[in-house]
Structure 1
């Protein structure tokens, strides 16, 4: 009996002398938002045994923002100090942390940290530094407002283009020169039909007169398609928009066209070619009549 008692006392003494002792400490269990705190672990009586713990900055849970994580390790003492902050309100737990010492596993005790927000709605927030007045030069103002300036120029340019299009763009779609060019194309198409070479004088004059009437209607605004030849010639003289030489050419060609149409004459090839060339030259000169008329109106 005495031997068992002495063996038990020896075991307790050996544990106290030779066993490792783990202790942990939390500086505060109630913290303000962002307030620094400290978690400390001590392991004594190591007697040279190796200590294995979580890697640096990875011992505490996710919500704990680590400020520093320092370790001091001597043959007989292991000390680890972790400083941290928490930036969310609520209760957060530090679970038991396993630390391996040699072949033994030691566990810290669990902790619970409560984080509170002490700020109030009526609290005044003061700036850390007073506001400074900074003098800005041209370069600084340019950097601040260059996009507005360039955007304004772009907008003005777009408005100017729209205004120019409204004022001149539409008018350029049907100027006198363009109408003359269109009539010349129609005359060229007539010539390619070779009515003169084939002695088809009736179709030649019918189409030549139609092209000319259509041109007078578009270029001068005459009711050329509705009026008879004599009425049209009188109307042209009364309008005074066509040069006298051009009026004479039109009168000759229109009159000859009526005679051919009703089979009263048979024109020669040279006469047909001459009438064609005269109408062509009239069409070429017509836009000059329009320009002269516009100048006369403004005088």
Structure 2
């Protein structure tokens, strides 16, 4: 009798300190999109922790989880997952390993059948009849205004790009640009005081280089590669440069060649005159060219 009492006490103590794990699937057959509930519950925790996959990651990918709630108390763990399936067929909820403290237990697997309850030839009725809505100008504007504004902005951008390309290029090639650039170069030459120092050779070399570059850019004459005689001949054939301006350039270039080969030694007054004549020629050129371009356009 005493031995039987010991055995009974032993089993009672085991059941008192053991955990009970069970799971349940509410419905084994559901229609497409119909909600179903899957529960896992552990009793007799005695403060132990329960480890399962994270929330919203418990069921396989075929199952669309609607909600996943976990309730934990000192002696009870309960997890309730509401889900649905949007594919027809048979699916399995696998057995999950549940770690309770240091022990591992397993749930049972469930087979779930998903059926399509719609029958061929079923008539589908709208909840409400379609209504015709009368549209006025304001309604059409509210509906399409962003498309219209976007189209207008695109047209404006294209026009702006065309204007910049056309007139920006024209402005860069304008006679005034070459004129102003050459006048700055002449001012820099003046500040070197070659005339005051009597350094006529350096003066004429730089003055002629500036003039050659100017003729090349302003009149499209290849003055930077032509010899003096060929350049004078090219200027005479050019219909844009006036005869008086041709004479100024011709005299300065011929004098520059003589200075270069030490055949003449110009005085200060001659150098001053050549500098001022060339400066005046450069100033007049932009107006002459703009007049010539206007004449050609007409």
- Distance in 1, matches of 2:179 and 2:186, equals 11
Alignment map for 1:114-125 (pairs within 5 Å):
117-125=116-124
Residue matched to 1:248: 247
TM-fit CA distance, 1:117:
5.0
- Distance in 1, matches of 2:294 and 2:30, equals 94
- Distance in 2, matches of 1:196 and 1:219, equals 27
Q: TM-score, normalised by structure 1?
A: 0.60
- Distance in 2, matches of 1:243 and 1:168, equals 28
- Distance in 2, matches of 1:238 and 1:31, equals 100
- Distance in 1, matches of 2:252 and 2:275, equals 9
Larger Rg: 1
- Distance in 2, matches of 1:30 and 1:266, equals 117
Residue matched to 2:166: 167
Secondary structure in 2 matching 1:136: coil
Residue matched to 2:211: 212
TM-fit CA distance, 1:210:
1.1
Residue matched to 1:266: 265
- Segments of structure 2 that go 5 or more residues without pairing to the other structure are 1-27, 35-63, 67-82, 92-112
* RMSD of equivalent CA atoms: 3.6
- Distance in 1, matches of 2:157 and 2:114, equals 60
- Distance in 2, matches of 1:32 and 1:259, equals 109
2:245 corresponds to 1:232: no
- Distance in 2, matches of 1:218 and 1:115, equals 85
- Distance in 2, matches of 1:293 and 1:178, equals 16
Alignment map for 1:21-60 (pairs within 5 Å):
none
Show CA shifts across 1:118-137 (max 9, x none).
22354232112211111111
- Distance in 2, matches of 1:116 and 1:262, equals 109
TM-fit CA distance, 1:144:
0.8
Query: Cα–Cα, structure 1 residues 236 and 120, in superposed 2: closer, same or farther, change >3 Å?
Result: same
Per mean C-alpha deviation after superposition, the further-off stretch among 224-233 and 145-154 is 224-233
Residue matched to 1:193: 192
- Distance in 2, matches of 1:223 and 1:200, equals 28
TM-fit CA distance, 1:158:
1.8
Q: TM-score, normalised by structure 2?
A: 0.60
Show CA shifts across 1:164-213 (max 9, x none).
23322323322211111221222122122211121100110111011101
Residue matched to 1:298: 297
Secondary structure in 1 matching 2:196: coil
